[in-house]
Chain A
Amino acid sequence: MTAQTTIRKPNEKPAKNPEGKNQATGSKDIVLSVKNVSKSFRLPTEQATGLKQLLINWTRGIKGYREQSVLKNISFDVERGDFLGIVGRNGSGKSTLLKLISGIYTPDTGSISYKGKLVPFIELGVGFNPELTGRENVFLNGAMLGFSHNEIEDMYDDIVAFAELEDFMDQKLKNYSSGMQVRLAFSLAIKAQGDILVLDEVLAVGDEAFQTKCNNFFSEIKKDPSKTVILVTHSMDSVKKYCNKAILIRDGKIVVNGDKNDAANIYTEDNLRSLQKDAKDSSKNKYPTGLNEKVPYMKCVPTSKMVLNSTDSFEFDIEYEYKPSNPVYIAFSMLDTRRGGIPYDSGSILLGNNGKERQKVHFSLPLTLFNNGSYQIVASLRKADPDNPVETLREGFTSDENSCTFSISEEANGTDYALLKYAALDMHKNGTTDIKRY
């Protein structure tokens, strides 16, 4: 990934230097400090609540609940101008942490302190009421975020224009489509700029146009050194694109604190590992999808790391069992799960007449050509087609749970929306000529 900076796509964004955002000033200006924060919840063990249950629990001498520890001794600092990503699998405690930062929950131990105005968006459009008109909802939601009637009056036109809802503001919210509601909520949110913005999964909603608006908003706020953003997300793309720091939480503990690439990679690996684990669990069934009595077992098993650089090769075994005694072929495809399409297919490879026991074939896939992305290897066992000597017929294949996945993730060099790297092809520019119109 070197020396491709001369050829740039026309719509490419200017070079970013997220890591350098703070270093310019040199001094550390901490706006949010989380120190040794722990949090646990009481989960009731009895179904009923209320006076009766309290009395019953009291007479039986039981507590009626158990402690569930959600966050354990979390500490981190956020500096002014930071764009912090918080990642972690479902149930790892991200949202609890966000609610603690927003002051909705109070920590059991430890402390959280911040400077300036903190605006939380645990959800867009908090307090929206379907029975009120769009206009009334703007004022109500604005009040929730701490803006007076006059202040909202001043930004009202901007909000409506950004949401593109000029004609609907006197309609009740219940007559809005869900997309319209989200647009209104989001445009309110981005006008309500505090010093620290706390966002939870906001990017996960809305259509493409809305996503683009989010995108622009984040790119803009990222450049502003006075604004600090804390973003909880499952999208590693957003983490890599916007954040300059990231925190990975696993089971209520901070695993990675600081480096966004580490956080994103370990998160991806966590997820892939859990997919493999799921696959292992479900392979106990007699014949999962793609398998049958001729091919009772077939599975792709990675033998190298699953998050790689493009200089690495992805190493994997295809394990299989083939009952008939005719010659057997194997083929695998490499699927691009993010951009779609099949970048590579191995074609049928003759394995010959194998024994009926379990076999494995090892493959090594060089990744030099490819940009960052998530890929899946799907393999199939085939036999010769009696009607057509150049074709093969599929006997069995690996379903999603028996396929293996890997991803290429390295320091982004330019964009990675194309599958192939710049250097994959030898591009030639043959001079520039004027086109004359006659």
Chain B
Amino acid sequence: MDLLVKLGNIDRRVIYILLILATLVPLVRPIGLPFSVSEATKKFYAAVEQVPAGETILMAIDYSVGGGPDIHPQGQAVFRHAMARGLKVVFVAFVTEGTEFANQIIAEGEKMAGKTYGVDFVNLGYVPGSEVAISAFAQDVLKVYPKDVRGNVTADLPIMQGIATVADFVLVTEFATGIPGPSEWIKQVGTRYNVPLAIGVVTVMGPQTTPYYQAGQLVGLLSGLKSAAEYEVAMKAPGLATAAMDAQSIDHIVIVLFIILGNIAYFAGKGKKGR
């Protein structure tokens, strides 16, 4: 009994060390646990798949560095998919760090054969003002973004020909770690313009975003690193997200074990007190 109670009150540093090991070991030595692709991910994938080649989609990179590792692989996977399908991608950001993450995705695009900046993709950069800025951008893209991050006049870029409002994109995708996020994009773009909206969020925002997806306000929903891994599997191109899935599994098991241990200790302690 005493041992059980002690285990329940284990030093939190022990938990921390075990969690570090649970993350690092599977990353170094992957187990390769299989997993299936969720319906929400399949629909996001299908939304990109259905865009006719040569058409332009929007990718709003609204994530901060903190949640980056959980969501950046989503942005990378969707961009690779779009490039493989011959789509054009316009990047925007309403979170300061979004510009830099978009630059990182574009850097990969510039290494792809036959893909050119300004023709196949462009980064329009960050605009302050959060939801107000999203609304203004949706109404008049070129007015809010007269120049891209490289100083080019936006209206002169080949990729921007025919783009005046957000409704001119065949598909709008948004990736968010907080605010602005799903609620702002649904209100300012999804419900106001006749354009399909697909959203990627960090894991913790998944439950809160699901009602919008269920109500049909989103054509697809990606939630955290797991969805990125699923997207990679759907594309038949496993990448970093897929590799991280083992670590996530073992982490979850460790946390669940500690919760169970804490409960055993709680009841053991209660039994002891009762006697």
Tell me if chain B binds chain A. Answer: no
